[in-house]
């Protein structure tokens, strides 16, 4: 893999489009030392970024939760992301915006540290290999748990929350699994390290209540698409034991899309019809022009999931 600091291309940093290799930050930055960084993961299909507005609204919200403001509006960020695709002639791409407290002040208090904002985009066709998608990925339940909402800013897509995701994923990989499944602080099923989870039980979709982890844009999209297919969706507390009742399991996220799960610890699942139908509907949805999408005009977060 080509290292990410040594690529051709253009990155937008603090208001300027600059050569990819020049997109540097100072080593003494609050974001680097104290994890005051928020980010997004977006995807473009056929040159169009799916749910762009929602991603940048979430980026703003994530920063506000960490008590700082991004100095560019959602509209400005949308325009920059689109322009980056154009300038680099990218059609199927991953887009990574981030904002972090800067170098104006060092120490825990950060009122005058300043804020940096970046957007990068690169070609990125698929997260998991086609063979893996066919039989489903494997998840290992992690010892690391999603924190309680009063111990961390759990609804911000903040770098600090990924410290335990990396540890969990490394541990899973060391045991031959694709990814980790994290429980929440109470021991209920929560999510994978970068994607939400759904169980199919008696033909209905069951998914954990996102009260201490990210309520993903893909999760909301999948819920909308499932309902259009006439499928009931239940948000509830799910215990690890509930995996025994599931006929199918899948994870979903911007990067993972809808990915079947074939195994969680000693539980085995066969990717089936429900997952396939939703994966196809999602794959169609993200590739359609906005006005032709099945959920066009629907505020994904406007109604109770
Ligand atoms: C921890 C975590 N959960 C869930 C998701 C899924 O969110 P989305 O569907 O908005 O990409 C992501 C990806 O951003 C994530 O990093």
The pLDDT tens digits for 49-81 are 999 999 999 999 999 999 999 999 999 999 999
Q: pLDDT category, 132, cuts 50, 70, 90?
A: confident
Q: Determine the pLDDT at residue 302.
A: 77
Our CA angle for 158, 164, 165, nearest 5°, is 75
- Give the CATH fold of the 130-292 domain: D-amino Acid Aminotransferase; Chain A, domain 2 (3.20.10)
The pLDDT tens digits for 8-61 are 999 999 999 999 999 999 999 999 999 999 999 999 999 999 999 999 999 999
- Classify 176 in phi/psi space as left (phi over 0), alpha (psi -120 to 50) or beta: left
Q: Determine the pLDDT at residue 27.
A: 97
Q: What is the residue whose two structure tokens read 């033909």? A: 203
Question: Is 91 in the active site?
Answer: no
Domain ranges of the chain: 10-123, 130-292
Q: pLDDT category, 304, cuts 50, 70, 90?
A: low
Question: Do 18 and 34 meet the contact criterion of CB atoms below 8 Å apart?
Answer: no
Question: Do 48 and 82 meet the contact criterion of CB atoms below 8 Å apart?
Answer: no
pLDDT of 305 above 70: no
- Tokens coding 253: 């996220």
| pTM of structure | 0.97
Q: Determine the pLDDT at residue 134.
A: 81
Q: Output b/e per residue, 43-60; b: 16+ Cβ within 10 A.
A: bbeeebbbbbebbbbbbb
Looking at ligand 1, which residue's alpha carbon is closest to its atom 7?
216
DSSP string over 27-90:
SS-HHHHH--EEE--EEEETTEETTHHHHHHHHHHHHHHTT---SS-HHHHHHHHHHHHHHHT-
The residue annotated as part of the active site, out of 86, 157, 169, 263, is 157
Q: Determine the pLDDT at residue 1.
A: 83
What is the 8-class DSSP label of residue 1? -
Which atom of ligand 1 is the closest one to the Cα of 196? Answer: 4
pLDDT of 127 above 70: no
Cα-to-centroid distance, 271 and ligand 1 (Å): 21
Euclidean distance between CA atoms 185 and 188, whole angstroms: 8
The pLDDT tens digits for 77-95 are 999 999 999 999 999 999 9
Beta partners for residue 180, in sequence order: 140
CATH number of the domain at 10-123, out of 3.30.43.10, 3.30.470.10, 3.40.630.30, 3.90.650.10?
A: 3.30.470.10
Q: Determine the pLDDT at residue 13.
A: 98
Ligand 1 binding pocket includes 219 (Cβ within 6 Å): yes
Cα-to-centroid distance, 214 and ligand 1 (Å): 6
The pLDDT tens digits for 150-207 are 999 999 999 999 999 999 999 999 999 999 999 999 999 999 999 999 999 999 999 9
Q: Determine the pLDDT at residue 131.
A: 76
Cα-to-centroid distance, 174 and ligand 1 (Å): 23
Please state whether beta strands 233-235 and 248-253 pair in parallel, antiparallel, or not at all (unpaired): unpaired
Q: pLDDT category, 125, cuts 50, 70, 90?
A: confident
Q: Determine the pLDDT at residue 183.
A: 98
Q: What is the residue whose two structure tokens read 């259009």? A: 228
Give the Å distances, CA to CA, from 176 to 169, 173, 264, 268. Answer: 11, 5, 12, 15
pLDDT of 269 above 90: yes
pLDDT of 216 above 80: yes
Cα-to-centroid distance, 42 and ligand 1 (Å): 10
Q: pLDDT category, 130, cuts 50, 70, 90?
A: confident
For a mutational test of ligand 1's pocket, the pick from 214, 259, 278, i.e. the residue with the most ligand atoms closer than 8 A to its C-beta, is 214
Cβ count near 236 (within 10 Å): 10
Task: Report the candidate in 136, 111, 162 with the shortest Cα–Cα distance to residue 276.
Answer: 136
Considering the chain, what is the average pLDDT of its residues? 96
pLDDT of 128 above 80: no
Ligand 1 binding pocket includes 218 (Cβ within 6 Å): yes
Euclidean distance between CA atoms 25 and 102, whole angstroms: 9
Q: Do domains 10-123 and 130-292 have the same CATH topology?
A: no
Enumerate the H helices of the chain as residue ranges: 30-34, 52-65, 74-88, 130-135, 163-174, 217-228, 273-287
Beta partners for residue 281, in sequence order: none
């Amino acid at each position: 893999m080509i290292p990410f600091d040594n690529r051709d291309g253009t990155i937008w940093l603090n208001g300027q489009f600059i050569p990819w290799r020049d997109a540097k930050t100072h080593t003494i930055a609050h974001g680097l030392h104290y994890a005051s960084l928020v980010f997004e993961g977006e995807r473009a299909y056929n040159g169009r970024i799916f749910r762009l507005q929602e991603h940048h609204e979430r980026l703003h919200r994530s920063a506000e939760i960490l008590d700082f403001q991004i100095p560019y509006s959602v509209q400005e960020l949308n325009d920059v992301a689109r322009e980056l695709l154009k300038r680099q002639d990218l059609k199927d791409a991953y887009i990574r915006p981030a904002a972090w407290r800067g170098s104006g002040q060092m120490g825990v208090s950060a009122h005058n540290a300043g804020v940096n904002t970046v957007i990068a985009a690169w070609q990125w066709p698929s997260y998991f290999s086609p063979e893996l998608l066919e039989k489903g990925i494997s998840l290992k339940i992690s010892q690391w748990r999603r924190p309680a909402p009063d111990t961390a800013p759990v609804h911000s897509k903040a770098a600090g929350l990924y410290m335990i995701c990396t540890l969990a994923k490394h541990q899973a990989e060391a045991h031959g699994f694709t990814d980790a499944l994290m429980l929440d602080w109470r021991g209920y099923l929560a999510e994978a390290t970068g994607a939400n989870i759904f169980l199919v039980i008696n033909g209905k979709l069951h998914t954990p209540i996102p009260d201490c982890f990210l309520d993903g844009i893909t999760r909301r999209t999948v819920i909308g698409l499932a309902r259009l297919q006439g499928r009931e969706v239940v948000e509830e507390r799910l215990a690890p034991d509930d995996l025994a009742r599931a006929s199918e399991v899948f994870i979903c996220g911007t990067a993972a899309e809808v990915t079947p799960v074939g195994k969680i610890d000693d539980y085995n699942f066969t990717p089936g019809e429900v997952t396939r139908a939703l994966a196809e509907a999602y794959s169609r949805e993200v590739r359609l022009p906005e006005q032709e999408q099945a959920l066009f005009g629907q505020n994904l977060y406007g109604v109770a999931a």
